[in-house]
Amino acid sequence: MNHDYPLTQQQITAYQRDGYIQLNDVLTGDELTSFRDAVDAAVKQDTVKLDPNRKKNSYEQIFIQCVNLWHRYPAVKPHVLSAKLGGIAARLSGLPLRLWHDHALFKEPHTGAKTPWHQDTPYWPHEQKMHQLTIWIALRDATIQNGCMSFLPGTQKFLDIEPVNLADPQDLYAVAPQTKGIKPVTCELKAGSVTVHNGMTFHYAGPNRSDGMREAIAIIYMPEGTTYHKVAHPVTDPLNLRQGQKLDGELFPIVG
């Protein structure tokens, strides 16, 4: 799984211009099956104690999400720390990177609501907010029907926009009027294919109207030297970090 995935200079240029790119067949065969099975088992274990009849909160209505599976599940760890995936991220960004966290994102059939248009990085406790990026991996086919990803090209350049409340989203044009006129690009993916997007690129995923679970995992990277900004986040809340402290060490390993 750690062999290089070929990237052309044209692909690198397109990613840096548009803030996203689709890459096909990054994971295939046994490596895809192994990753999918490991994540599926981990998500089931993480959620097994939840009451299926409970009233779901707004976020649970969008998707089942489990963060930092690699910390807790040995079968997931080598996939999240994959040198191939880290190498893709490093080559596209052109920067040395560290892992920020993984994030399983499963949309339940007929109940997974839409994920509103938003940028990622404004929610994260990072002082620097320009070059984070996410590899979003379709563990099973991601289609328009089950909630694949869409992007607004070039919007990674739009800074200082108020974060969208995902549980009660505002109209995109009210939050970011500069996005008017930008045509969305929707990326259907076969299992094992990925999208990569800058943390500031506006993106969206529709509801899951299919009969099956939409299974995906995001692996998120940040530039080496990223420092902590004190806001609430489940990854850093338990760490008792000080403002301006580097996010480094074994919890945020170097990749690529």
What's the rounded mean pLDDT across residues 15-22?
Answer: 98
Topology (CATH level 3) of domain 9-50+58-238: Jelly Rolls (2.60.120)
211 or 256, higher pLDDT: 211
Q: How confident is the model at residue 4 (pLDDT cuts 50, 70, 90)?
A: confident
Report pTM: 0.94
Separation between Cα atoms, residue 132 and residue 201, nearest integer Å: 10
What's the rounded mean pLDDT across residues 188-212?
Answer: 97
How does pLDDT run across 33-82, given as a tens digit for each residue? 999 999 999 999 998 866 555 555 555 556 789 999 999 999 999 999 99
Domain boundaries, the chain: 9-50+58-238
How does pLDDT run across 109-156, given as a tens digit for each residue? 987 678 899 999 999 999 999 999 999 999 999 999 999 999 999 999
